C-alpha cells in the first residue's frame, strides 16, 4: 500500500506539473486555440491520482481532512469539466482562458499546502 501511495503522489505531482507546462506551451504555440491535449491529460492524471490517494487513505484508515478533500474535489470537478468541454469542442478560445485555468490550478495548490 505504501508503494501504491508513493506512485500516486508521484503521478499527482507530475499531473500538476503537466498543467503548468500546458499553460506555457499553449501560450507559445497556439494562444488562440484549440486547447492542447496536455490539459486533458493533466485533468485525467491529477483526478485519478487524487481520488486514488483518497481511496488509499480510506483503505488504510489514514483519512485526509474531509473539508480539504471536498474543496479540492469540487474545484477539480469544475476545472476538469470546463477543460474537457473546451478541449473536445476543438474551437478557437479566448486568449485569457489558459490563464483562468492556470489560476484554478494555483488555487488547488494553495488549498493543498495551506490547509494542513
Residue ranges in contact with ligand HEM by CB under 6 A: 12, 16, 19, 46-47, 50-51, 53-54, 64, 69, 72-73, 76, 105, 108-109, 112-113
Cell numbers linked to 53: 490517494
**Closest approach of ligand HEM to the CB of residue 92, in Å:** 24
Residue that the C-alpha cell 507546462 belongs to? 21
Nearer to ligand HEM, 17 or 92 (CB): 17
Tell me if 102 sits within 8 A of 35, measured CB to CB: no
When the beta carbons of 19 and 23 are compared against ligand HEM, the nearer one is 19
Q: Which is nearer to ligand HEM, 12 or 23 (CB)?
A: 12
The CA-atom distances, in angstroms, between 15 and each of 30, 43, 44, 88, 95 are 21, 7, 8, 19, 23
Amino acid at each position: 500500500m505504501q508503494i501504491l501511495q508513493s506512485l500516486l503522489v508521484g503521478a499527482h505531482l507530475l499531473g500538476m506539473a503537466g498543467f503548468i507546462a500546458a499553460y506555457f506551451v499553449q501560450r507559445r504555440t497556439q494562444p488562440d486555440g484549440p486547447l492542447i491535449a496536455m490539459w486533458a491529460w493533466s485533468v485525467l492524471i491529477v483526478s485519478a491520482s487524487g481520488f486514488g490517494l483518497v481511496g488509499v487513505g480510506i483503505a488504510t484508515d489514514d483519512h485526509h481532512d474531509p473539508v480539504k478533500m471536498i474543496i479540492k474535489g469540487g474545484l477539480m470537478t469544475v476545472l476538469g469539466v470546463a477543460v474537457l468541454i473546451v478541449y473536445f469542442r476543438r474551437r478557437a478560445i479566448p486568449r485569457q482562458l489558459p490563464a483562468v485555468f492556470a489560476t484554478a490550478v494555483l488555487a488547488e495548490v494553495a488549498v493543498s499546502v495551506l490547509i494542513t
